[in-house]
Amino acid sequence: MFLLIAPFALAQDNKTAAAQKGAENWLAITDKADYAGSYDRASAMFKAAVTKDDWVQKIRAARGPLGKVESRKLQSAQYTKSLPGAPDGEYVVMQYETSFENKKAAVETIVPMLDKDGQWRVSGYFIK
């Protein structure tokens, strides 16, 4: 039984690592306040849900008052094939403990998904 589980777990770990790399690249762009650039690098599903202008306006309103990122640490990463309100696919729900210049304790939730071209791209982003 272990031999059947081990390859599956390894495949999930590889997908989670690839999703994390994609998420962190996207976060780096967002951290530079290149909100149009973050939109351009988001998933097709993300772009179908919000226009570029709306995204830029919403993320500027959410992130602007927080100031610069001082630290960010991955707290959890969960691979899943289904999410509420989203089509079935491959997702990794990640939560980061983040400290901003003007908000010392925040939780960023970022959800990369495997896009149709085989690249991990962000499909959701939330700050609490």
Output the tens digit of pLDDT for each of the chain's 128 residues: 444 444 444 456 789 999 999 999 999 999 999 999 999 999 999 999 999 999 999 999 999 999 999 999 999 999 999 999 889 999 999 999 999 999 999 999 999 999 999 999 999 999 99
- The C-alpha angle with vertex 57 and arms to 51 and 58, in degrees rounded to 5, equals 90
Overall pTM > 0.85: yes
Model pLDDT, residue 14: 84
What number of CA atoms fall less than 13 Å from residue 116's CA on the CB side?
Answer: 4
Model pLDDT, residue 11: 53
CATH match for 2-127 among 2.40.240.10, 3.10.450.100, 3.40.50.920, 3.40.190.10: 3.10.450.100
